[in-house]
Amino acid sequence: MIALGMLAGLAACDQSRVNPPTEPAKPVTSPVVDPTGEAPSGSMAPLMPGTGPTSFVGRWTPDPVLCAQPTRNPRLIEITPLRFEGEGLGCDIGRISQVTGGYQATLSCPAAAGVHVERVQMSVTGQTLDMVYVDRRGADGGPRSVRLLKCTTLSDTARTAPALSPN
């Protein structure tokens, strides 16, 4: 009986609203949610981990020659929507906020005294990632910054070396 009601409801759908294959539907957007439970504050509201921008997702390095050996490269930085790994640290991305010119991620990193929280601003232009470690100081006394080049996205990078084929 319930199945018949569902079929009747589906049959009543307006078929003129179905997108043809040549005109795909617009993507569904995720709601903006603050993981701390605070109320969103306008357009700068924080996003849930994993729902933020993906322009910074991938493997990055200061020297593109190092991209050829990702498993042996301690200077390679690997960023997913949920993790930031590299330069001797592995951190959870707890919050992503849109800021002028890019995004700011709040990292939660294990430390000897518990958890160290750090903010990193990221801006991508083409294959270049400019990162500013907001809470670290560089040689000039200002926030430490670094410019990295993209090796690949995570989805098209093999985690293991391919087998060699005999010639």
Best CA proximity match to 93, nearest among 107, 103, 114, 77: 107
For strand 77-79 and strand 83-86, is the pairing parallel, antiparallel, or unpaired? antiparallel
Q: Please tell me which residue, 56 or 152, carries the higher pLDDT value.
A: 56
pTM above 0.75, yes or no: no
pLDDT bin (cut points 50, 70, 90) of residue 160 is very low
Which secondary structure element, helix H or strand E, spans residue 134, and what is its range?
strand 128-137
Q: Which two tokens stand for residue 161?
A: 């070396």
For residues 149-157, give the mean pLDDT.
64
Contact call for residues 143 and 134 (beta carbons, < 8 A): yes
pLDDT tens digits, 111-147: 888 888 999 999 988 888 999 988 888 788 888 888 9
pLDDT top residue among 161 and 20: 20
Task: Compute the distance between CA of residue 143 and CA of residue 128 in angstroms, rounded to an integer.
Answer: 19
Q: Are strands 77-79 and 58-61 parallel, antiparallel or unpaired?
A: antiparallel
More confident residue, 162 or 89: 89
User: Per the structure block, which two tokens stand in for 143?
Assistant: 């926030």
Q: Is 70 exceeded by the pLDDT of residue 77?
A: yes
Q: Which tokens hold the place of 52? A: 């933020």
Per the model's pLDDT, the better-predicted residue between 97 and 38 turns out to be: 97
Q: Quick check: 78 and 59 in contact, CB under 8 A?
A: yes
